[in-house]
Structure 1
Amino acid sequence: MSFRPFTSESYSEGDRPEAWRDVLRAVGLQPSPTTTVPSGYATASRRRSDGVALAKLSAGSQAVSPLRDLADDMPIVLLPSEDGVTLRTPAGHQIISARQLLLLPRNGDWSVAFPRDMRAIVLSVTSEAFHGRKIGQSGLADVRIMPPGGFTDIFSRTLESAAGTLETLTDIEWAAVAQSLADLLPTFMRQLGVPAISAGTATQGAILHRICQTIERRLGDPDLAPARVAQAEGISERYLQKLFEGTGGFTHYLRERRLQRTWADLSNPAEAHHSISEIAYRSGFNDSAHFSRTFRHRFGLSPREFRQQESERGAASAVTAGQRGWPQDALAQLRSHHPLPPARTTTAPSDSNCGQSDAVSDHSHHHLAVEAARVHWGYFSRALPPQAEVNSGDTITIETLTQHASDDPERMIVGDPGAESVFRWTKEGKNVDRRGAGPMDASVYGRGAGEGFGVHICTGPVHVRDAQPGDVLEVRILDIVPRPSRSDAFKGRVFGSSVAAWWGYHYNEFLAESPPREVVTIYEIFCDDGAAHARALYSYRWAPQTDPFGVLHSTYDYPGVLVGPASVKRRHNVLDGIRIPLRPHFGVIAVAPRETDLVDSVPPSYFGGNLDNWRLGKGSTVYLPVSVPGALLSVGDPHATQGDGELAGTAIECSMTGTFQLILHKKADLAGRAFADLTYPLIETETDWVLTGFSHPNYLAEFGANGQSEVYANSSLDLAMKDAFRKMRRFLMNIKGLSEDEAIALMSAAVDFGVTQVVDGNWGVHAILSKRLFEDVPQT
């Protein structure tokens, strides 16, 4: 097929830059000489046919320029899709807003810089596409900037629609689309009436490029003045102003770049928990009233009106009521979240009598008890203050609660101070108000603060001293013990809950005319030596529950709604005589993601998170790539047992306490290790390596501002399988030294691929590689 997907997950870190160059070459581009080719996460959807190449690109900050082709004079079309870009020509620099179309001469002297992330659609059409037909004058000597409106909008929407369906088009359909784009481009060019950009000197362009990079780095400095910049560059202020003549002057350029930054942030749903003033101040404006006037003058709307407009625009594509994930209007109405109190730890031992920790360490030991002040519910964040600080090699015991304890409060909450602290909810308020990464004002579905977009109770985070981005954190799971009931009626016994919920894979597959339903099953957990198991006590169908604030929950849609015994009809003798073996593990083990301040806890990703793999039990290890200083490790979503797939939506959820050893591996020391070049959670057991594949390996980077909605709508087992395959191929080639052919042969013969889960928004497939395969391989 002509469709060629690209993901950096297929390549080792050293091979990614050249692989990315190949992606750019396909659409007539190359990295600019002044830019560093990014080696981080990147994806591309691309198709090509005779003379036509279309690509949807997502990558890190960089600059691109034309791959000179003197044999052709058709322009390259570039549409920035999320953030503004900086256009460099010999005349100087110019800020281009997102969704402004650029026509770029294939042999021109220009570059386009993406100051934050590269998200763009690129169309390359050459004369080959016209099969000898004459199309009139096609040459373009200078860059043309096409603002939105009229024929530009038609052409832009055609590009977006085509780019969005690249993967699903058949070859025959793509050929028709490609020819239509090729025929449309000359028609579009004939409509041009925009004057060309005048020429200037290459030296001036180089100086301007360097100064603009400085401005980008220091955009938030309100004291960034022409005199300071000129002094830092060793030029006169008069010459500085002359350099910026082509952009309207230094002050105009700086103001425009700040306005573009605030425009992007105000339209970004993931930034909506920041106030307008916060966004203005961090972009270098030091007076909110002045900012508001300037913004209105530039964009025709006040910042508040613009944000509301973007919210309403997003509402048109909001997911259906009850859907997991962030509806666009929910995202755009986020309000500031409440930070947790300062870190505290305790050295008290675990009081569980359903198991005994056998962790032994020569390093310091820490204990993190669970209570409302030490958990974050339903989200991850780089901004959370740590609840404990440890050194590499230290051990830490972390108490965790299941968010499903509210399914039977009598057994799993009553009498337990930690659980009562976290779950407390009366008419007067909740101890943990934010429950999810949604809006605090519950303005979309009205379910409650956080809206439930993210559900897991996570204890932490734990700060690992000296951890820096690029390092790897090794998390050894030394022990896991269930948390017993402290209720007088059930003291010492252990219970868990499983929900066949509306987000389960089964939900639209009920037999005959059976109506969709949600069923909760309560289990008792038995810790018999050698035969630990769970037995069902009873089940009930979810009945509408009214929370203490008076909100009716018709479905299982908001975390922590306490179910009253009299509100449901219990059915006993379910799964009668069946003993389910235990596989205790933590569904969530995560370091903080680098992107945005609030990340839904449901979809897993490169930072770990909601992995839901039962192999993460006692004696196993998970390696996680560190993305923020301190790593900020959180643990939660404890499971008594789970099958591969987690088909109905949950495991047997059971509060548990884990003991971990945290070992930091510095970036400079990773070479030759199994976790070198790590961009995903890597699990190690006594016998196997387990690689985690996802539908979207880094959905936050791939989809940008809308990632926490898009990932739910675009996940599939096919994509997850491809990711698991690519990662295993890379592991076998770069860690085990096999050729590509050898890696593929071994995968087919000896690697087990399995479905991890199909309910977490970002579906998972794991690949299991037995260590025994390499026992006879000579050690180098």
Structure 2
Amino acid sequence: MSIHSVKRHQNHLAWDNSIAPVLHIQSGETVTFDCLDASNGQLTAESSVASIRGLVFSQLDQVCGPVHISGAQPGDTLQVDIISVETADWGWTALIPGFGLLHDEYPDPALKIWKIDRAGQFAWFDEEKGIKIPLRPFPGEIGVAPGKDGAFSTIPPYKTGGNLDTKYLSSGSTVYLPIEVKGALFSIGDGHGAQGDGEVCGTAIETPVKATVRLTVRKDKPYVKAPHFVTARAAASPEEYYCTTGVDQDIREASRAAVRDMIEYLGVEHHLSKVEAYMLCSVAGDLRMHEVVDMPNYVIGLMLPKSIFTNAS
């Protein structure tokens, strides 16, 4: 099976279906992306808080790509199998004025530079106080080009993906994205070493990453109208989840969309009536606030444990 690569300089700063692809591949092939951190290289392991004041905001959250996948057509689904995500040996977390859930209460910039132990897969938040953060690397940005013409900021999430900032999209997980243009035009970036649900201050452990993914066109998932994903098993959480997401400017509407999509998924894949599926969502599903700071849109996920389906393969 062919393995391709996309370099750091092969990036763009908007979701735009007019951007020429940097790579053409066949469905089912694997691509490794060498991605800078979300600052686009403006911050380094030697940066100080003064660097936050000097950030050029128009250069933030670049994504590597786009990649054209042969056979992808509007209405299809792109299956993205995340094979591996490797961090650098450093990262940063910052308070950026105007960003974050409490940006009005924390108006001053702040910066923390992390030393990442890649062998041990952790980073100390404060070694003296015994606060240790396990790594769970993932790409914050993962998406395909929108069908609507024009340039759309990489800062918010969209129904075609984008800045999902969802911590469950780590190695071993699978993401499903609705395709709106020929070739899909897939891009990825914004490496994270670890993050909590919601990313409340607006940044995670931001770090350059090398992400390897397999890209497969699916013709059999018409119910994927916004990102869906399947989590990977981990030692700390052996359960696997199937998740539907809602992306909207209103949290309640995003939540409603996530539930509607799960109901449709359960009907197609598990042959449940809409009433049965709605009740199952209530007794077994967990609504999670995956991303709440990259305005104007929120990402709300409904996560359903796969173990409840005892007849499933």
TM over 0.5: yes
2: CA distance between counterparts of 1:459 and 1:721?
30
Say if 2:71 is the partner of 1:466.
yes
Equivalent in 223, 226, 232 of residue 677 of structure 1:
223
Equivalent in 73, 82, 86 of residue 477 of structure 1:
82
* 2:21 aligned residue: 386
2: CA distance between counterparts of 1:725 and 1:774?
18
* 2:311 aligned residue: 776
Aligned pairs for 1:289-688 within 5 A? 363-371=1-9, 374-377=10-13, 379-404=14-39, 405-408=41-44, 410=46, 452=58, 455-483=60-88, 494-501=89-96, 502-509=98-105, 516-529=107-120, 532-536=121-125, 576-666=129-219, 670=220, 675-686=221-232, 687-688=240-241
Query: CA shift at 1:735, angstroms?
Result: 3.0
Amino acid across the alignment from 1:606: K
2: CA distance between counterparts of 1:517 and 1:574?
25
Amino acid across the alignment from 1:640: G
2: CA distance between counterparts of 1:462 and 1:676?
22
Aligned pairs for 1:10-89 within 5 A? none
Aligned residues: 297
Query: CA shift at 1:583, angstroms?
Result: 1.2
Query: CA shift at 1:750, angstroms?
Result: 0.8
- TM-score under structure 1 length normalisation: 0.37
2: CA distance between counterparts of 1:748 and 1:482?
37
Q: Deviations over 1:266-295 (max 9, x none)?
A: xxxxxxxxxxxxxxxxxxxxxxxxxxxxxx
Question: Helix, strand or coil: the match of 2:258?
Answer: helix
Query: CA shift at 1:717, angstroms?
Result: 2.2
* 1:237 aligned residue: none
Equivalent in 743, 766, 773 of residue 301 of structure 2:
766
Alignment root-mean-square deviation, CA: 2.2
2: CA distance between counterparts of 1:376 and 1:641?
24
Check the 8 A contact 2:223/2:264 in 1, yes or no: no
Aligned pairs for 1:72-221 within 5 A? none
Give the number of the structure whose alpha-carbon radius of gyration is greater.
Answer: 1
Q: Deviations over 1:346-384 (max 9, x none)?
A: xxxxxxxxxxxxxxxxx111122212xx1112x111011
Name structure 1 gaps, 5 residues minimum: 1-362, 412-446, 484-493, 511-515, 537-572, 696-714
Question: Helix, strand or coil: the match of 1:744?
Answer: helix
Question: Helix, strand or coil: the match of 1:741?
Answer: helix
More RCO (CA 8 Å, sep 6+): 2
Check the 8 A contact 1:407/1:520 in 2, yes or no: no
Amino acid across the alignment from 1:387: V
Equivalent in 720, 729, 734 of residue 254 of structure 2:
720
Amino acid across the alignment from 1:495: W
Question: Helix, strand or coil: the match of 1:658?
Answer: strand
Amino acid across the alignment from 2:102: H
Query: CA shift at 1:677, angstroms?
Result: 2.3
Q: Deviations over 1:554-585 (max 9, x none)?
A: xxxxxxxxxxxxxxxxxxx6984311111100
Greater helix share, structure number:
1
Identical pairs, percent: 34
* 2:235 aligned residue: none
Check the 8 A contact 1:751/1:768 in 2, yes or no: yes
Say if 2:280 is the partner of 1:746.
yes
- TM-score under structure 2 length normalisation: 0.88
Check the 8 A contact 2:68/2:183 in 1, yes or no: yes
Check the 8 A contact 1:587/1:638 in 2, yes or no: yes
Question: Helix, strand or coil: the match of 2:214?
Answer: strand
1: CA distance between counterparts of 2:178 and 2:131?
40
2: CA distance between counterparts of 1:688 and 1:765?
15
Greater strand share, structure number:
2
Check the 8 A contact 1:693/1:765 in 2, yes or no: yes
Runs of 4+ in structure 1 deviating by more than 6 angstroms, as ranges, are: none
Q: Deviations over 1:474-510 (max 9, x none)?
A: 1111111113xxxxxxxxxx11111223220022346
Query: CA shift at 1:591, angstroms?
Result: 0.7
* 1:121 aligned residue: none
Amino acid across the alignment from 2:308: L
